């Protein structure tokens, strides 16, 4: 079977015919195309079929998907058409490429698909193309996906921040964390109140534009359909969520709450270790950090034995550890009312202790009691564990690429990897 026969079966270009294929002196396969006899060209402005005005002398080359490790180029002499609707002479629109791209649409999607598996530089090396070609291929696919994605089934949001550079360089991310779909919805620089407010506004505007384009008579706000939202204790996030999404069940993340406990416990341990050292006492707390911070079931034999010995001593660290372990029972409750009673009892006991950092934890829990109990009101079905999993995938993506020089490139690759964006449909898939 000839190559042009295979291409004709795979690509179905109306009004065009594959003429021949040949191998040039540089080892590239050149496939010639021509327009069908008496066919009209499509106006690149309005899309109307118009009569041919003239034909270019020199043929243009469009890079196609490689075949058997050979570079493939479609060769075609472009026509100009006299469009009656536009009232001008313009270059015709061809079905295998958009605009002034020298890559075919299929090839750009092909490169973008491989860019999900490999870094952009590795894709460029593997297919002997330029890095810019891979970059623009991903850009085109992401722009198409964002323009065609739907937001009408988003009911649960996860809000978090990601550190993307050394120092205090953070990104604010909005994820969809519904059971049926988990994806990135938006990403913005910094983690300020304005950043999150802008993100919510942009989602709302995007949903409204797509409703208007679809001809919806009474457009609805995407914020009205958000029933659940999960975040950490960052004050800026709490403020924006309370203002923009007051009807949603806002729950504080279990993971971040226990992270606060771990930080406080480690602070108590470090202070007590320094005090014992200054007093010349036996340094029983040396090399004990992970004995307290790890879950009992995750400890190996030696740390587990050391922890058992420490628990017999009258230390402030041990008291703080026992309070933290006792609080773990809070998550076993099913009904909010019983969970609230336990929380109140635990806070009361902790406030009577002499451990100031743990008292601060108790005060924080009392301040945000309703937001914490919302986790039970949401039937424990949402948490930032989903968000942390997406963050891990994002970190692996950045590591694979060895970082990004610009925020735009980082944002584009993040959408490409984490948003499950719709892609253009072709007659045949090459990947």
User: For the residues 239-257, what does the mean pLDDT come to?
Assistant: 90
User: For the residues 99-106, what does the mean pLDDT come to?
Assistant: 88
Domains of the chain are 3-102 (no CATH), 156-252+383-418 (3.30.420.10), 255-377 (no CATH)
The token duo for 355 is: 């451990």
281-326 residue pLDDT tens: 778 888 888 888 888 888 888 888 888 888 888 889 999 999 999 9
* pLDDT at residue 429, as a whole number: 62
Given a contact cutoff of 8 angstroms between Cβ atoms, the answer to whether 175 and 160 are in contact is yes
Task: Specify which of 178-182, 298-302, 389-393 reaches the highest per-range mean pLDDT.
Answer: 178-182
pTM: 0.83
* pLDDT at residue 430, as a whole number: 55
* pLDDT at residue 226, as a whole number: 93
At residue 425, does pLDDT exceed 80? no
Tell me how many degrees the CA angle 379-342-350 measures, rounded to the nearest 5.
130
Structure confidence at residue 426 as a pLDDT band (50, 70, 90): low
Structure confidence at residue 431 as a pLDDT band (50, 70, 90): low
At residue 403, does pLDDT exceed 90? no
Which residues are 181's β-sheet partners? 178
At residue 345, does pLDDT exceed 80? yes
At residue 252, does pLDDT exceed 90? no
User: For the residues 107-125, what does the mean pLDDT come to?
Assistant: 91
- CA atoms of 192 and 236, how far apart (whole Å): 6
User: For the residues 27-41, what does the mean pLDDT come to?
Assistant: 87
At residue 379, does pLDDT exceed 90? no
Average pLDDT taken over every residue of the chain: 88
At residue 166, does pLDDT exceed 80? no
Given a contact cutoff of 8 angstroms between Cβ atoms, the answer to whether 204 and 221 are in contact is yes
- CA atoms of 236 and 308, how far apart (whole Å): 41
Percent of the chain with pLDDT strictly greater than 70: 98
* pLDDT at residue 356, as a whole number: 92
């Amino acid at each position: 079977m000839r190559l042009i026969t295979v291409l004709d079966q795979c690509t179905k270009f109306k009004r065009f015919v594959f003429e021949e294929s040949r191998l040039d002196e540089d080892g590239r396969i050149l496939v010639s195309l021509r327009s069908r006899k008496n066919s009209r060209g499509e106006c690149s402005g309005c899309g109307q079929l118009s009569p041919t005005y003239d034909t270019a002398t020199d043929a243009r080359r469009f890079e196609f998907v490689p075949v058997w490790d050979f570079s493939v180029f479609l060769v075609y002499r472009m026509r100009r058409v006299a469009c009656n609707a536009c009232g001008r002479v313009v270059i015709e629109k061809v079905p295998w490429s958009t605009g002034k791209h020298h890559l075919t649409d299929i090839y750009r999607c092909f490169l973008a698909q491989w860019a999900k598996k490999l870094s952009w530089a590795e894709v460029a090396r593997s297919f002997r193309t330029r890095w810019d070609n891979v970059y623009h291929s991903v850009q085109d696919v992401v722009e198409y996906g964002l323009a065609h994605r739907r937001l009408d089934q988003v009911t649960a949001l996860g809000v978090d921040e990601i550190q993307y550079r050394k120092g205090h360089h953070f990104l604010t991310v909005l994820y969809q964390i519904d059971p049926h779909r988990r994806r990135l919805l938006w990403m913005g620089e910094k983690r300020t109140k304005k950043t999150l407010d802008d993100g919510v506004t942009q989602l709302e505007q995007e949903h409204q534009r797509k409703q208007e384009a679809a001809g919806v008579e009474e457009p609805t706000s995407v914020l009205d359909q958000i029933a659940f939202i999960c975040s950490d204790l960052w004050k800026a996030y709490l403020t924006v969520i309370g203002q923009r999404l007051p009807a949603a069940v806002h729950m504080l993340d279990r993971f971040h709450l226990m992270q606060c406990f771990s930080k406080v416990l480690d602070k108590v341990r470090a202070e007590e270790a320094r005090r014992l050292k200054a007093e010349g006492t036996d340094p029983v707390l040396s090399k004990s950090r992970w004995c307290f911070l790890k879950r009992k079931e995750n400890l190996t034999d030696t740390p587990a034995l050391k922890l058992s010995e420490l628990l017999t001593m009258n230390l402030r660290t041990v008291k703080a550890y026992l309070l933290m372990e006792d609080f773990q029972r809070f998550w076993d409750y099913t009904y909010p009312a019983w969970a609230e009673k336990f929380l109140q009892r635990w806070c009361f006991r902790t406030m009577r202790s002499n451990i100031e950092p743990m008292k601060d934890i108790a005060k924080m829990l009392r301040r945000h009691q309703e937001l914490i109990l919302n986790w039970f009101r949401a039937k424990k079905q949402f948490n930032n564990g989903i968000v942390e999993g997406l963050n891990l995938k994002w970190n692996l993506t950045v590591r694979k690429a060895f970082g990004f020089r610009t925020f735009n490139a980082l944002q584009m690759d993040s959408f490409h990897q984490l948003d499950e964006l719709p892609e253009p449909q072709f007659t045949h898939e090459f990947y």
